[in-house]
Amino acid sequence: MIRSDHDLLALALDWHKAGRKVAIATVLETWGSAPRGVGSLLVMDDAGAMEGSVSGGCVEGAVMVEAMDAVSDGKPRVLEYGVSDDTAFEVGLACGGTIRILVEAVGASMGEDVLRSLVASKLSAKPAAYVVDLESNARRVSDASEYVERFRVDRSGIEEDGRTFVAIHNPPLRLFIVGAVHIAQHLAPMARAVGMSVTVIDPREAFAVAARFPDETLVHEWPDEAIDALAPNERTAIVTLTHDPKLDDPALQSALKSKAFYIGCLGSKRTHAKRVTRLEESGWTVDDIDRLHAPIGLPLGGRAPAEIAVSVIAEIVQSLRSAQ
């Protein structure tokens, strides 16, 4: 099972509470083609159990040795590794790079109270930042009122002072799919694969059933009511797939009132032109309507439901990352 960073922190806390000696390794900086991004986590215990990754396999063994020293003496370590092109190839990577890694023992250099606070933020879906002074070794947890730009672009890293590392822990991205149609059956697992929490909205209970969507949250309310209740924010994408204005239009009315970073609508250019007319008649401005991605998805040329789903998830990722 691939665990998210939030899950890794919760795992580290569980291991620690169970009496295991635990260390957490965090990627501080990368140069070149390092395989794991800044903020990536590796959790280890003194029995050799590991979850997560800081390098895709290149230096995990060396980090483990340092981690065992860290749980013995309680002192943090900042490690730097250069992965050569040859070594990278041997472990199945395309090319080399350099990474800097912070190793901390839970209950010592990383206090249990700090780890508890980070895990609690995940459970309450609140953004939190883990802030480390690499010179004084002071540690604290910050909310979203600090490091606003880092939270906005979901980017951990070292501040300009060269000593303050900020690890951003945002709530998961969310995708609301309006219409439990065939495309949605492919789109939902793709969205989960890129780290999104998925909700499928369709008042037609014959469509939105667990047999068709076994791993998803299903909502059988009218789309506008469901979206309003779910309160989409800047970390939410919304797609309408029913092809039925009675369902899609109310959903779009609610979506356009929100701060969702992506709103996509299934349908041809002709269908969208009619949709635009209806929205204009309802009082929406050109700027409002320009937020809609329609026809939905990147123009990959695919026509099968799975191919359309690929184009949609690609456009969602593009919209999210291009804003950063």
Instruction: Give the other-Cβ count within 10 Å of 111's Cβ.
Output: 14
Q: Give the end of a domain, one of 122, 141, 169.
A: 169
At 91 the pLDDT is 46
In this structure, the answer to whether residues 123 and 197 fall within a common structural domain is: no
Q: How far apart are CA 82 and CA 319, in angstroms?
A: 33
Whether 91 and 225 share a structural domain:
no
**Among 191, 282, 172, which residue's Cα sits nearest to residue 234?**
172
What pLDDT is attached to residue 29? 92
Q: 46 and 184: one domain?
A: no
Query: pLDDT per residue over 270-305, tens digit each?
Result: 999 999 999 999 999 999 999 999 999 999 999 899
| Same domain assignment for residues 33 and 52 | yes
Torsion angle, CA of 40/236/212/123, rounded to 10 degrees?
Answer: 60
> What are 71-80's pLDDT values in tens digits?
999 999 999 8
Q: Pairing relation of β-strands 196-201 and 173-178? A: parallel
Do 162 and 181 lie in one domain? The reply is no
Task: List the domain range (segments joined by +) for residue 105.
Answer: 5-169
Considering its fold, how many domains does the chain have in total?
2
DSSP category for residue 102: E
Ranges of the chain with pLDDT below 50: 1, 89-93
DSSP letter assigned to residue 3: P
Q: Identify whether residues 263 and 161 lie together within a single domain.
A: no
Task: Choose one of 147, 169, 191: the last residue of a domain.
Answer: 169
CB of 273 closer than 8 Å to CB of 262: no
**The two structure tokens encoding residue 232:** 């989409």
Do residue 187 and residue 241 come from a single domain? yes
Distance CA 196, CA 235 (A): 9
Report the pLDDT value the prediction gives residue 133, as an integer from 0 to 100: 97
Q: Are 149 and 104 within one domain?
A: yes
The answer to whether residues 58 and 146 belong to one domain is yes
pLDDT attached to residue 201: 98
Instruction: Give the domain CATH number at 194.
Output: 3.40.50.720
Q: Are residues 124 and 265 in the same domain?
A: no
Say what the pLDDT of residue 93 is.
Answer: 47
Q: Are residues 268 and 231 in the same domain?
A: yes
What is the reported pTM?
0.76
Taking residue 7's Cβ as centre, other Cβ atoms within 10 Å add up to 17
Q: Tell me which of 169, 188, 204 is where a domain ends.
A: 169
Rg for the chain, CA atoms, rounded: 22
Instruction: Examine the domain organization and report whether 216 and 289 are in the same domain.
Output: yes
Residue pair 151/129 in contact (Cβ under 8 Å)? The answer is: yes
